[in-house]
Structure 1
Amino acid sequence: MSMNRTSATNVTGSTGGTGGATERLVVIGGDAAGMSAASQARRMRGPDELEIVAFERGHFTSYSACGIPYWVGGDVSGPDRLIARSPREHRERGIDLRMRTEVTEIDVAGARVRSRDLESGAEAWTSYDKLVIATGARPVRPDLPGMDAPGVHGVQTLDDGQALLDTLAARRGRRAVVVGAGYIGVEMAEALINRGYEVTVVNRGTEPMATLDPDMGRLVRRAMSGLGITMVDDATVTGIVTGADGVRAVATQDAEYPADVVVLGIGVRPETTLARAAGLPLGDHGGLLTDLAMRVRGHENIWAGGDCVEVLDLVSGSERHIALGTHANKHGQVIGSNVGGGYATFPGVVGTAVSKVCDLEIARTGLREKDARRAGLQFETVTIESTSRAGYYPNAALMTVKMLAERRTGRLLGVQIVGREGAAKRVDIAAVALTARMTVEQMTALDLGYAPPFSPVWDPILVAARKAVTAVRRSAT
């Protein structure tokens, strides 16, 4: 089998997948989903059975994109700390990993991909017996004046993080504007505060963290303001004001906010440009559609995983796009097992996510109020305040828990938590309950651990569940 690049006029051929001959797996994307799939497939099948060729256009593989804000903010010393496995380590495990090489075309009918070496410009076709698409997501960059100016940064890859740090090192000014107040926007705002910047967050919504209901987002805004972050809510960005040296300000419909650097925290979209051009099936959110085995629908030998796919929401029953490393790694394991001759499935998600602003912990799982309405569900909401530990124990911290339950059935629909130490990971109790389709009444009987340093006698999740039971019963009368 050939492990060499070829010219654009040649094809790196496979020896075929029949009669015990070596098959070729081609993987597009060298981060969580792609390299997890490649590694798992390699564990199951040796080099004599399965040749694995992986393409990555960046400088890094198998890294934690979720850790980028902490690297930028100085909590993590450098990009090496975020890398789980280097290109050299992958190659030592029998994977032909081609860095700084971008796949530019998928030829489904011909079972091959075209790639371009970003250093030399050389192009080549590589055939495959099995294909994994793990192209990730790209930061949303609105088509507005100045969005491509020097000093405007999206943050999705380690290369993006390094580019932002290079800008911070080169600029003399200390004014930063973050556009968007989702998870990335909030985390990057804190990172820039930690680096000594004057930070303004321009948010299109009425409150930050649109993944929460507005009443819970309001608690996040208070914490951000307490850090010295200037919050501009209900604002629409109209463009970036630029000068000879790049960005000067962020313009909205009402004002301009001076900036020496701009970070885009508007969110991400599935990177499915190649898939769309190849005619592969995409969902309403632009992500690839797969079956439970993560196989692209209608294509026997093509799989997809990570931030470029849509997943089933187990609570609402609809397809969603959720860009999280936890999902991507699970997708890769499922794909690698199936490519390697085993069998595995990815049933779906309940939408669990956690974050923080300084010492404020933020968590959610399941549906928000507007999600439940969109799904046509009738529901009750309750909100409680409790403490992370027994009230008499030192350093007990307040937390707010909001819970949604379906009317009549009492089925848990969603939980949001905002509080200090010990708040965020309590959402995992709710995530398990959602996955098991538990009712709030069933939740009140959960045998959770108790000791004064860890929780009150009635854990805050159970307090909310008890209140939700009352609300559901009241609605039935």
Structure 2
Amino acid sequence: MGRVGRRQRLVVVGGDAAGMSAASQARRLKGVDDLEIVAFERGGFSSYSACGIPYWVGGDVEGPDRLVARTPQEHRARDIDLRLRTEVTELDLDGRRVRARDLDSGEEQWTGFDRLVLATGARPVRPPLPGIDAPGVHGVQTLGDGQALLDTLAATPGRRAVVVGAGYIGVEMAEALLKRGYEVTVLNRGEQPMATLDPDMGRLVHTAMEGMGIDVVAGAGVTAIRTGADGRVRAVEAGDATYPADVVVLGIGVEPETSLARAAGLPLGVYGGLLTDLSMRVRGHEDVWAGGDCVEVLDLVSGRERHVPLGTHANKHGQVIGANVGGGYGTFPGVVGTAVSKVCSLEIARTGLRERDAREVGLRYVAVTVESTSRAGYYPDAAPMTVKMLAELRTGRLLGTQIVGREGAGKRVDIAAVALTAGMTVEQVAALDLGYAPPFSPVWDPVQVAARKAVAAVREAG
């Protein structure tokens, strides 16, 4: 039931991409007289690009203000009551209210809602290791985290950095620290960096990073972080080895920040993320929506729920939520798992399923790998790239694509992403009418070269 005799109130928990996109879209559709919007953000910034933090740390872009898409003042000018440094500590769904604490004054108060949006994001994985909270050990998730790391780099005379983890955050931070003049060691528990790739493609990343001067150690499960007499980090222990460190960056990954939702009894998936319907409404709760890094989404290729923390999805979730809250209509159908990254001059991209993913969901497949170039081979600066493609047996349906190469490689994954979303076969991909000129691609685009090879492999397998 709504509030009788007064405006409806939308409460948003989380002031970054999903939350403020939802608030802004709802405001566009609903006037101030119809909808009051209150948003709580425990940090000091709103609507910012967390994806840009490694490039700020590395000196490629200025920050933090340049990473802010819309300032708190701009949100407030649109009659969105955005309260920074205010943390929501409890959800009372039966009473339709949230309790929030001002982090500066310590004052707490309850705020009622008619509709609630949860956009609490994700938190960096921080294993309970000795010394994990020592000065000089940094997670990198918010603009505040980025500034804290830069402050440490400015105040630390030593030039040895250890990055724990070799996923997207780990390799991007390794590049940033290398650009800052640090000797960089990356400790990775897995066989190869970039576990979102198959090991044979991850091996290409490993070799390239070593060639850039980054020491990548595989099978290195960190057991402790050692500190000096001043309490600051001095080394990282992994197995029987010790790696000196003046600064440590945790790039182990993130997990959904759903502690409030869990305490309130909201439905969570196997990865700990909130479960929603296509409208981004929390399942079983009529007036509660959720979006961004705190939710799980449908993988359109495997048919299973996944946790895919990306800003692109968060902004789309917010648009869908805001449309539905504001009286319009929108849905978020799911993802195919597309991601792209880089470490120095190496571009890394993937979409769809890895071999392990295909096996886990019971799909039989063929896998092919091809070597090609970003431009016609005779054109100046043609750069090498490796494309791996998976196709389903019998049907030839495209299941996944991975690309590792130099300039011009990464964004080619979008061809495969569109094909996956459309449910295309590798034969259809090979027949696509793509743009061609020698400065842009060979006569056969590398993705289509892989598709042709996959077609042959499917036919050979019968």
State the TM-score bracket (shorter-chain normalisation): over 0.9
The residue that corresponds to 1:380 in the other structure is 366
The residue that corresponds to 2:293 in the other structure is 307
Aligned mates of 1:309, 1:347 — CA distance in 2: 14
- Secondary structure of the 1:373 match is helix
Structure 2-normalised TM-score?
0.99
The residue that corresponds to 1:106 in the other structure is 91
Answering whether residue 248 of structure 2 is matched by residue 274 of structure 1, we say no
Deviation sequence 1:186-220 (CA, Å, 0-9, x none): 00000000000111000001110001001111111
The residue that corresponds to 1:424 in the other structure is 410
- Secondary structure of the 2:95 match is coil
The structural deviation recorded for 1:277 is 0.4
The residue that corresponds to 1:398 in the other structure is 384
Answering whether residue 217 of structure 2 is matched by residue 232 of structure 1, we say yes
Structure 1-normalised TM-score?
0.96
The residue that corresponds to 1:389 in the other structure is 375
- Secondary structure of the 2:403 match is strand
The residue that corresponds to 1:137 in the other structure is 122
The residue that corresponds to 2:398 in the other structure is 412
- Secondary structure of the 1:110 match is coil
The residue that corresponds to 1:453 in the other structure is 439
Aligned mates of 1:253, 1:18 — CA distance in 2: 59
Deviation sequence 1:334-378 (CA, Å, 0-9, x none): 000000001100000000000011111110000000000111100
Alpha-carbon distance change, 20 to 343 in structure 1, aligned in 2, over 3 angstroms? farther
Higher mean displacement: 235-244 or 115-124? 235-244
The residue that corresponds to 1:88 in the other structure is 73
Structure 2 unpaired stretches of 5+? none
Answering whether residue 153 of structure 2 is matched by residue 165 of structure 1, we say no
Please tell me whether the aligned partners of residues 389 and 455 of structure 1 are also in contact (alpha carbons under 8 angstroms): yes
Please tell me whether the aligned partners of residues 3 and 114 of structure 2 are also in contact (alpha carbons under 8 angstroms): no
Deviation sequence 1:266-292 (CA, Å, 0-9, x none): 000000010000000000000000000
Answering whether residue 283 of structure 2 is matched by residue 297 of structure 1, we say yes
Deviation sequence 1:124-146 (CA, Å, 0-9, x none): 00000000000000000001111
The structural deviation recorded for 1:232 is 0.8
The structural deviation recorded for 1:380 is 0.1
- Secondary structure of the 1:462 match is helix
The residue that corresponds to 1:283 in the other structure is 269
After superposition, residues 454-469 of structure 1 pair within 5 angstroms as: 454-469=440-455
Aligned mates of 1:285, 1:193 — CA distance in 2: 33
After superposition, residues 122-133 of structure 1 pair within 5 angstroms as: 122-133=107-118
Matched to 1:29, the amino acid is G
Answering whether residue 51 of structure 2 is matched by residue 75 of structure 1, we say no
Matched to 2:112, the amino acid is S
The residue that corresponds to 1:195 in the other structure is 180
Matched to 1:248, the amino acid is R
The structural deviation recorded for 1:227 is 1.4
Matched to 2:194, the amino acid is M
The residue that corresponds to 1:9 in the other structure is none
Matched to 2:168, the amino acid is Y
The structural deviation recorded for 1:421 is 1.0
Match of 2:192 among 207, 210, 213: 207
Name the count of aligned residue pairs.
461
Answering whether residue 434 of structure 2 is matched by residue 434 of structure 1, we say no
The structural deviation recorded for 1:444 is 1.2
Aligned mates of 1:199, 1:388 — CA distance in 2: 29
Please tell me whether the aligned partners of residues 21 and 322 of structure 2 are also in contact (alpha carbons under 8 angstroms): yes
Match of 1:243 among 204, 214, 228: 228
Deviation sequence 1:6-28 (CA, Å, 0-9, x none): xxxxxxxxxx7367841000000
Structure 1 unpaired stretches of 5+? 1-15
The structural deviation recorded for 1:244 is 2.8
Please tell me whether the aligned partners of residues 20 and 49 of structure 1 are also in contact (alpha carbons under 8 angstroms): no
Matched to 1:275, the amino acid is A
The residue that corresponds to 1:56 in the other structure is 41
Aligned mates of 1:187, 1:443 — CA distance in 2: 31
The residue that corresponds to 1:26 in the other structure is 11
Aligned mates of 2:83, 2:263 — CA distance in 1: 23
